[in-house]
Structure 1
Amino acid sequence: MAITDFDLLVVGDANPDVIVSGAPRVPAFGQREQLVESGALALGGSAAITACGAARLGLRTAFVGRVGDDAAGGFILDALRGRGVDVSACVVAPDTATALTVVLTDGPDRAILTSPGCLDRLAPEDVPPELVKGSAHLHVSSFFLQPRLAAGLPGLFRTARAAGATTSLDTNDDPAGRWQGLDEVLPVTDVLLPNDREALAMTSAAAPGRAGLERAVRELARRGTTPVIKCGGEGALSIDGGELIRVPAVPAHVTDTVGAGDSFNAGLLAARLRGLPPRRSLVVAVACGTLSTRAAGGTAAQPTWEEVTS
Structure 2
Amino acid sequence: MISVVGHTAIDHICRVPRFPEKHTSTYTLDHRIFFGGGAANIAAGIATLGERCTLVSAVGSDFPGSAYERRMEELGIERRFFFVPDRPTATAFMFNDLAGDQITYFDWGASAVFAEADAPALEFVHMATADPSFNVRVAEKSEFASFDPGQDILKYSREQFETILDNINILFANRHEAATMAEVLGTSVSDLAKRVEIAVITMDAEGCMLCVRGEKQMVPAIRVEMADPTGAGDAFRAGFLSAYQRGYAPLRCCTIGTTAASFVVEQVGCQTNLPTWERMAGRHAQYFGPIEKEA
- The TM-score normalised by the length of structure 2 is 0.85
Residue 48 (structure 1) aligns with: 40
SS of the equivalent of 1:65 reads strand
Q: Which amino acid aligns with 2:89?
A: T
Q: Relative to structure 1, is the Cα distance of residues 74 and 128 closer, same or farther in structure 2, using a 3 angstrom cutoff? A: farther
Kindly indicate whether residue 12 of structure 2 is the aligned counterpart of residue 18 of structure 1: yes
> By how many angstroms is 1:126 displaced?
4.4
Q: Relative to structure 1, is the Cα distance of residues 280 and 93 closer, same or farther in structure 2, using a 3 angstrom cutoff? A: same
Kindly indicate whether residue 193 of structure 2 is the aligned counterpart of residue 202 of structure 1: no
What do residues 173-197 of structure 1 show as CA deviations (whole Å, max 9, x unaligned)? 3464765311011121111111111
What do residues 129-149 of structure 1 show as CA deviations (whole Å, max 9, x unaligned)? 5xx25xxx2111114xx1441
Greater CA drift, 175-184 or 232-241 = 175-184
SS of the equivalent of 1:265 reads helix
Greater CA drift, 45-54 or 18-27 = 18-27
SS of the equivalent of 1:63 reads strand
- The share of aligned pairs that are identical, in percent, is 26
Residue 101 (structure 1) aligns with: 92
Q: Is the 8 A contact 2:63 2:69 kept in 1?
A: no
Counterpart-to-counterpart distance in 1, 2:19 and 2:118? 39
Q: Relative to structure 1, is the Cα distance of residues 100 and 83 closer, same or farther in structure 2, using a 3 angstrom cutoff? A: same
Counterpart-to-counterpart distance in 1, 2:223 and 2:49? 21
What do residues 208-256 of structure 1 show as CA deviations (whole Å, max 9, x unaligned)? xxxx9xx51x312332342111111010101124321110111110011
Gaps of 5+ in 1: 1-6, 207-211
What do residues 95-128 of structure 1 show as CA deviations (whole Å, max 9, x unaligned)? 3232111111114221101111121212585455
SS of the equivalent of 1:302 reads coil
- TM alignment of 1:45-124, pairs within 5 A: 45-70=37-62, 74-87=66-79, 89-107=80-98, 108-122=100-114
* Alignment counterpart, residue 188 of structure 1, candidates 164, 167, 175: 167
Q: Is the 8 A contact 1:67 1:73 kept in 2?
A: no
Q: Is the 8 A contact 1:194 1:229 kept in 2?
A: yes
- TM alignment of 1:119-134, pairs within 5 A: 119-122=111-114, 125-126=117-118, 128-129=120-121, 132-133=122-123
SS of the equivalent of 1:122 reads helix
RMSD across aligned positions (CA): 2.7
* Alignment counterpart, residue 146 of structure 2, candidates 161, 168, 182: 168
> By how many angstroms is 1:73 displaced?
8.6
> By how many angstroms is 1:91 displaced?
1.8
Counterpart-to-counterpart distance in 2, 1:175 and 1:278? 25
Q: Relative to structure 1, is the Cα distance of residues 29 and 80 closer, same or farther in structure 2, using a 3 angstrom cutoff? A: farther
Q: Is the 8 A contact 1:186 1:225 kept in 2?
A: no
- The TM-score normalised by the length of structure 1 is 0.81
